[in-house]
């Protein structure tokens, strides 16, 4: 009994101690929570500091956003401007045209034959100019016919294929002189006859054809209205691909070799090559409103054969514009070729002579 009482007393004493420890832990936790809660209560000073930090953050973010959007907008504008104002170093001019002339007589006591003539043409200029480089390309195509009342055959009044290209480079941007290389090819479309004689052909496609390749210097103004090309080294090659004309020695080629009976032993050559100097001048200007003047000229002399005999070609044109599509034209074309033989009316050939062609008419022209 004493053991049981003693053991019960120790157990109560032990339980009491545990209860005191538990109460102490609860009190400690409650006190810590209260202290923590009291530390997180914002003071007026902390609230002011917090507001300042928030304002700085939002101000910076807004500024950065606006700046970023402005940068994007500026880059977009610059891109659009670059695309819309993209430099174009090419200039193109296309000029097809139709020129007509007509003569009619009714009860005209002094006599005369009704006639009509027309010339179709195309003129194209394609130039590339960038910095020190200048590449010029010209295309000229013409063909014209004339029909006279009472005449069975129509007569050719114009027939031209003229292709020209020159590539130039200058040493400085300010200079107007270029180092230049030039290529030029001229020929015709169809056969040519002397008057109404359709038996004897005097010219045809690539009979003749003249090709010039040369190097030298080019002077031009900023608007390309004045051009002076000087080529001290130019190779001129004449092609006569019509064998009948080649056998006759037409246009400077070596003629066929014949025996005593007139039989051909050796055919005439189809190519004649020369080496010489070339000077070419072009000039365009406006005489007055709606009246334009155009000059083209070239002068060539062979170093090896007959130096000093100058092949000359001068073409003058005055265009008078009536409206956007209709214009009157006055033209003159002078030609002297030292290698050409002139065929007289009786069929005999003579030496070279000055050749002259003139034209006056009203036509339709469109430029694009």
Write out pLDDT tens, residues 156-169.
Answer: 999 999 999 999 99
Distance CA 231, CA 368 (A): 32
From 237, 349, 355, select the one nearest 300 (Cα to Cα). 237
Would you state the pLDDT for residue 37? Answer: 42
pLDDT confidence of residue 56 = 58
pLDDT tops 60 at residue 10: no
Q: How many CA atoms lie within 13 A of 75 on its CB side?
A: 6
Question: Token pair 């004897």 is at which residue?
Answer: 200
Question: Average pLDDT of 99-108?
Answer: 82
Torsion region of 206: left, alpha or beta (phi above 0 gives left; psi -120 to 50 gives alpha): left
Q: Is 355 within 8 Å of 336 (Cβ atoms)?
A: yes
User: Do residues 273 and 251 make contact, with C-beta atoms less than 8 angstroms apart?
Assistant: no
Give the contacts of 200 (CB within 8 A, at least 6 positions apart). Answer: 193, 194, 347
Tell me what pLDDT residue 76 has: 63
Burial group, residue 136, by CB count within 10 angstroms (0-12, 13-18, 19+): buried
Return the bridge partners of 86, or none. none
Q: Are 220 and 134 in contact (CB under 8 A)?
A: yes
Task: Report CA Rg, the chain.
Answer: 48
Confidence tier at 170 by pLDDT (50, 70, 90) = very high
pLDDT of residue 8: 47
Closest CA to 231 of 279, 264, 303: 279
Token pair, residue 26, equals 């609860």
Mean pLDDT computed over 84-90:
77
pLDDT at 335 over 60: yes
Give the angle subtended at the CA of 260 by the CAs of 254 and 265, to the nearest 5°: 45
Q: 142-154 pLDDT, tens per residue?
A: 999 999 887 888 8
Omega of the bond leading into 127 within 30 degrees of 0 (cis): no
pLDDT digits (tens, 9 = 90+) for 185-195: 999 999 999 87
Q: E strands, 149-191, where?
A: 155-169, 177-187
Per-residue pLDDT band for 292 (boundaries 50, 70, 90) equals very high
Judged by average pLDDT, the poorest of 28-32, 69-73, 212-216, 222-226 is: 28-32
Phi, psi of 365 (to 5 degrees): -135, 140
- Report residue 176 as tokens: 């107007």
CATH architecture of 89-365: Beta Barrel (2.40)
Q: What is the phi-psi region of residue 257: left when phi exceeds 0, alpha when psi lies from -120 to 50, beta otherwise?
A: beta
- Closest alpha carbon to 212 in 228, 241, 180, 234: 234
pLDDT given at position 230: 97
State residue 310's pLDDT score.
Answer: 94
282, 293 contact by CB (below 8 A): no
Q: Where are the alpha helices (DSSP H) in the chain?
A: 2-39, 44-84, 243-247
Mean per-residue pLDDT for 108-137?
89
Task: Give me the pLDDT at residue 6, please.
Answer: 44
pLDDT band per the 50, 70, 90 thresholds, residue 115: confident
Within 8 A by CB and 6+ apart from 312, the residues are 297, 298, 299, 334, 335, 336
């Amino acid at each position: 009994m004493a053991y049981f009482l003693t053991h019960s007393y120790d157990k109560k004493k032990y339980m009491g101690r545990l209860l005191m420890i538990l109460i102490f832990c609860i009190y400690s936790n409650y006190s810590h929570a209260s202290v923590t809660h009291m530390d997180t209560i914002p003071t007026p000073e902390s609230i002011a500091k917090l507001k300042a930090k928030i304002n700085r953050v939002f101000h910076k973010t807004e500024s950065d956003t606006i700046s970023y959007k402005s940068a994007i907008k500026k880059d977009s504008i610059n891109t659009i401007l670059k695309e819309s104002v993209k430099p174009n170093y090419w200039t193109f001019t296309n000029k097809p045209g139709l020129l007509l002339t007509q003569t009619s007589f009714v009860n005209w006591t002094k006599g005369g034959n009704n006639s009509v003539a027309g010339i179709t043409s195309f003129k194209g200029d394609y130039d590339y100019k960038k910095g020190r480089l200048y590449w010029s390309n010209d295309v000229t195509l013409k063909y014209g016919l004339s029909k006279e009342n009472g005449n069975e055959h129509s007569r050719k009044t114009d027939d031209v294929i003229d292709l020209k290209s020159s590539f130039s480079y200058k040493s400085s941007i300010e200079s107007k002189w270029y180092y230049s290389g030039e290529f030029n090819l001229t020929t015709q479309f169809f056969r040519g006859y002397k008057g109404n004689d359709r038996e004897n052909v005097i010219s045809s496609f690539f009979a003749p054809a003249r090709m010039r390749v040369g190097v030298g210097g080019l002077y031009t103004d900023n608007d390309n209205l004045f051009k002076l090309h000087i080529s001290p080294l130019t190779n001129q090659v004449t092609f006569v691909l019509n064998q009948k004309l080649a056998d006759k020695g037409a246009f400077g080629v070596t003629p066929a070799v014949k025996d005593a009976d007139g039989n051909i032993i050796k055919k005439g050559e189809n190519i004649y090559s020369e080496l010489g100097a070339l000077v070419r001048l072009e000039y365009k200007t406006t005489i007055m409103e709606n009246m334009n003047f155009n000059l083209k000229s070239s002068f060539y002399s062979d170093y090896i054969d007959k130096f000093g005999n100058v092949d000359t070609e001068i073409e003058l044109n005055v265009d008078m514009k009536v409206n956007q599509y209709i214009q009157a034209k006055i033209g003159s074309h002078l030609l002297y070729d030292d290698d050409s033989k002139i065929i007289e009316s009786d069929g005999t050939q003579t030496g070279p002579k000055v050749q002259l062609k003139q034209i006056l008419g009203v036509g339709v022209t469109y430029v694009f």
